[in-house]
Structure 1
Amino acid sequence: ASWATPLPKIKAKLSANVKAGKASISLSVDLFSGLATWFTPNKGGIEGGPLGACGPRQSNDDMIVALNAAQYGDMNKKSKHCGRKVLITGPNGKKATAVINDACPGCKKNSLDLTPVVFKKLGSLDTGILKIKWKFI
Structure 2
Amino acid sequence: MKIAQFALLVFAIVLAIASTVEAGKKKKKPSKKPTQVVRWNKKMSGVSTWFNGHDLKGAACYGNLMGNSHVNAGDSWHIGAVHMASYVKSYKGACFECAKVSVGKKSIIVRIIDDCASCKPNQIDLTSSAFKALAPLSKGVIKTTYQFIRCPSSSLKWPKSPAIRKN
TM-score, with length taken from structure 2:
0.56
Find 1:39's aligned residue among 51, 62, 75: 51
SS of 1:37's equivalent in the other structure is: strand
The separation in 1 between residues aligned to 2:127 and 2:89, in whole angstroms, is 21
Find 1:57's aligned residue among 52, 59, 72: 72
The code of the aligned residue for 1:71 comes to Y
By percentage of residues, which structure has more strand? 1
Does residue 71 (structure 1) correspond to residue 71 (structure 2)? The answer is: no
Aligned residue pair count:
103
The answer for the alignment partner of 1:113 in structure 2 is 125
Q: CA deviation at 1:68?
A: 2.5
Aligned pairs for 1:118-137 (under 5 A) are 118-137=130-149
For structure 2, the residue ranges without an aligned partner over 5 or more in a row are 1-35, 63-70, 150-167
8 A Cα contact 1:33 1:110, kept in partner: yes
SS of 1:126's equivalent in the other structure is: helix
The separation in 2 between residues aligned to 1:84 and 1:35, in whole angstroms, is 18
The answer for the alignment partner of 1:15 in structure 2 is none
Once the two structures are superposed, residues 36-87 of structure 1 have per-residue CA deviations (whole angstroms, 9 ceiling, x without a partner) of: 00011x32xxx3x42211014312111100012413753xxx4332111110
8 A Cα contact 1:39 1:116, kept in partner: yes
The separation in 2 between residues aligned to 1:35 and 1:123, in whole angstroms, is 12
Of structures 1 and 2, the larger Rg is shown by: 2
By percentage of residues, which structure has more helix? 2
8 A Cα contact 2:59 2:72, kept in partner: yes
SS of 1:118's equivalent in the other structure is: helix
SS of 1:60's equivalent in the other structure is: coil
Does residue 82 (structure 1) correspond to residue 82 (structure 2)? The answer is: no
The separation in 2 between residues aligned to 1:127 and 1:81, in whole angstroms, is 26
Deviating beyond 6 angstroms after TM superposition, the runs of 4 or more aligned structure 1 residues are: none
For structure 1, the residue ranges without an aligned partner over 5 or more in a row are 1-8, 10-27
RMSD (Å) for aligned C-alpha atoms: 2.2
SS of 2:57's equivalent in the other structure is: coil
TM-score, with length taken from structure 1:
0.67
The separation in 2 between residues aligned to 1:34 and 1:132, in whole angstroms, is 5
